[in-house]
Amino acid sequence: MKGGIAVLLAALSAMRELRLTPALPVVMVFNSEEEVGSPISRALIEEEGRRSRYALVLEPAVAPDGSLKTFRKGVGNFRLRVTGRPAHAGADHALGISAVHELAHQILRLHALTDYEAGVTVNVGVIQGGTRSNVVAEEAQAEVDVRVPSLALADEIVARVSRLEPVTPGAVVTVEGGLNRPPMERTPAIVELYRRAQALAAELGFAVNEGGTGGASDGNFVAALGTPVLDGLGAVGVGGHALDERVVIEQLPLRAALLVRILQTFA
């Protein structure tokens, strides 16, 4: 993300020094809470999105080739809570209702919703439950990540997760959460932005391809409003969110030059 900010500031600085005029007024939004879902900034982002002809997102490019992003999956976040009945694991095991046991059933149900061909993934990433090994667990919970490529599939998967029913008699299952970011679907208007950017890159002497990702960005919010979004205009690199995350420094000037040409010509 720092690389994307550097690209933006370098492009605007170059335009000022060279006295180049953007085709449209430019509004910049810098968001420090994107990774946690943009709970406070979402309203501002959507407000600016409604006012805009299009949006440019300086998130990293698709790794490793630097493709621009014309689609992104939507993201759902859920918390699954299970309540059972505690009992002594040795003396009164039969009297207990294990929340951990019930949670295990629900995890299998949730993971069964993953459909790679449809582009749907469901991941139970964090689980907690019980108090001691000699007590039948009264409570357990899990945090669930859902990724969907379209609003139609989002509605279906969100409904299925929200309707989970207990398998174990006497257990209680509750589900909290929902869709955090809508999908950024590949629309003709978004593809048109990409093709125009591709042509500008060719004029500058390098190629950019088209791609997408299962990750989401604040561009998802804007695209859902019907405003075209071109994403992945930031740094080229590999290892996002990993210990070896890095950018290709030599690519930064090229991305800045492309951004200058986009701002000059996209009206």
pLDDT per position as a tens digit, 109-152? 999 999 999 999 999 999 999 999 999 999 999 999 999 999 99
* Angle (deg, nearest 10), helices 252-265 and 188-204: 120
- The radius of gyration of the chain's CA atoms, rounded to the nearest angstrom, is 23
| Contact yes or no for 97/104 (Cβ under 8 A) | no
How far is the C-alpha of 172 from the C-alpha of 165, rounded, in Å? 8
Q: What is the mean pLDDT of the chain?
A: 96
Distance CA 103, CA 155 (A): 23
How far is residue 89's CA from residue 198's CA, in Å, rounded to a whole number? 65
Residue 31 has pLDDT above 90, yes or no: yes
Average pLDDT over residues 72-80: 97
Q: Which residue has the higher pLDDT, 196 or 36?
A: 196
**81 vs 103: CA distance, rounded Å:** 8
Task: Please state the rounded mean pLDDT for residues 56-70.
Answer: 96
The C-alpha atoms of residue 257 and residue 17 are separated, in whole angstroms, by 13
SS3 content of the chain, % helix, strand, coil (to 5): 35, 25, 40
- Position of tokens 């209702």? 97
129 three-state secondary structure: strand
**71-88: average pLDDT:** 97
Beta bridge partners of 146: 76, 122
> Is pLDDT above 90 for 86?
yes
Please, which pLDDT band fits residue 241 given cuts at 50, 70 and 90?
confident
Question: Where would I find the H helices in the chain?
Answer: 2-18, 42-51, 99-111, 151-162, 188-204, 219-223, 252-265
Six-digit token string for 28: 């910049």
Short-list 209, 202, 254, 198, CA closest to 64: 209
154-201 pLDDT, tens digit each: 999 999 999 999 999 999 999 999 999 999 999 999 999 999 999 999
What's the whole-number mean pLDDT along residues 47-72? 96
Asked which of 7-16, 38-47, 237-246 is least confident by mean pLDDT, the reply is 237-246
The single-letter DSSP state of residue 115 is B
Q: Are 6 and 237 within 8 A, CB to CB?
A: no
234 has pLDDT over 90: yes
Model confidence band, residue 240 (pLDDT cutoffs 50, 70, 90): confident
Please tell me whether residue 222 adopts helix, strand or coil conformation: helix
Outline where 19-98 has alpha helix (H).
42-51
Quickly state the pLDDT bin for 68 (edges 50, 70, 90): very high
Where do the domains of the chain lie, and which CATH numbers do they carry?
2-73+183-265 (3.40.630.10), 74-181 (3.30.70.360)
